Structure 1
């Protein structure tokens, strides 16, 4: 029981550390990420379109 509690606490700490790492990493990489998203927007739009086409045909 105690081991399970410690394990869950460690998992929560791992998630918070991951979120903190992302929060620290994101502002530093924001400008590059924005330029990448601007370059990739046509591809993402096509992917979304194919997904929206496939979703009504599936069910």
Structure 2
């Protein structure tokens, strides 16, 4: 029973990461941060630097 619950949790996590990493979602998030003039993250990457990665 516990193994099944763990497997389900892993499947949900993988599904969530796939959704987050979909190009449409990344582009939407990028545009929102760009429009809000978002600041650099903890890694120092700016919105303009991020564009090259998505």
Report the TM-score, using the length of structure 1 for normalisation: 0.50
Ranges in structure 1 where 5+ consecutive residues have no aligned partner: 46-59
Equivalent position of 2:8 in the other structure: 10
CA distance in 2, matches of 1:30, 1:40: 11
* Structure 2: 5+ residue stretches without partners: 42-54
Between the two proteins, the alignment pairs up a number of residues equal to 39
State the Cα distance separating 1:5 from its structure 2 match.
Answer: 0.5
Higher relative contact order (CA 8 A, sep 6+): 2
Larger Rg: 1
Secondary structure of 2:21's match? helix
- Report runs of 4+ in structure 1 exceeding 3 Å deviation: none
**TM-score normalised by L of structure 2:** 0.54
